[in-house]
Amino acid sequence: MKGLNILIIEDESILALNLSLQLKEAGFHVVDNATNFEDAFSLLKQHSEINLLIMDIHLNDKIDGVDFYKQLNEKIPVIYLTAYTDDQTINKAIETQPLGYLAKPLNERELFALLKLAALKRKPLQTSKENLLTLPNNYIFDREHDILTHNGQRVKINGKKLQLLKLLIEAKGEYIPFEIIEDELYKDNPPSESSLRTLVYRLRSQLGYDFIETQRAYGIRLSMQNSS
């Protein structure tokens, strides 16, 4: 199905092969299959087009699938597979807000229903023009859906970087003191000075060094030149 690029993470070779063939025959694009989380992480770094994980929770590995998923910086939608249906396993998986949770042996109808849902979620979001903010360097931020684009292409930004960008946007070109940034982004866990500097550096590195202006020992602001 157009739009889905799937990575299967499953250490049962026969199940993985059958699932891959089943998906391909139904028109889905399977990028690859990983039998452990180290290989899965490597494949995710190599293939940025991967936008759906079908993953066994209980691989023969050091950690389980839920813990591996929590370690991913970019939260790709996931469908969990497992032979275990106990409440503890299910509740732990639910905390990561997966697309779904399928017990083995797999029910084909349930699997394809979840894949259809994943495809629907890939459809472009409709956004009213008043929620689109033009930023420096040809960036546009969708305030309704927290989506940043550059020359029409979606930019991957999440976590603290996204929070900092939203804070800068809300300030409308005014300087934000570093103390305010700490309070807003870190609440009761104040960061070290170097951690905050690193966060600002990472955002500037990604979006352009002239994107953010710094007032030494005071704060930062979004450059509003050529923006509206």
Q: Is the distance from CB of 60 to CB of 11 less than 8 angstroms? A: yes
What is the domain partition of the chain in residue ranges? 5-121, 129-222
- DSSP of 55-82, one letter per residue? EESS-SSSS-HHHHHHH-SS---EEEEE
> Quick one: pLDDT band at residue 37, thresholds 50, 70, 90?
very high
Cβ contacts of residue 118 below 8 Å, gap of 6+? 4, 52, 77, 79, 99
Residue count of the chain, please give it.
228
Q: What are the tens digits of pLDDT across the range 105-159?
A: 898 888 988 888 888 776 554 556 677 888 888 889 988 888 899 888 888 898 8
Check: CATH 3.40.50.2300 for 5-121? Answer: yes
- How many Cβ atoms sit within 10 Å of the Cβ of residue 179? 11
Do the first three CATH levels of 5-121 and 129-222 match, i.e. the same topology?
A: no
Q: Which long-range contacts (CB under 8 A, 24 or more apart) does 151-156 make?
A: 155/206, 155/207, 156/74
> pLDDT tens digits, residue range 162-213?
999 999 988 888 899 888 888 888 877 777 878 888 999 999 999 888 888 9
Q: Which residues, other chains included, contact 192 with Cβ-Cβ below 8 Å and sequence gap of 6+?
A: none
The CATH number of the structural domain formed by 129-222 is: 1.10.10.10
What is d(CA 40, CA 14) in angstroms, rounded to the nearest whole number? 18
Higher local confidence (pLDDT), 61 or 73: 61
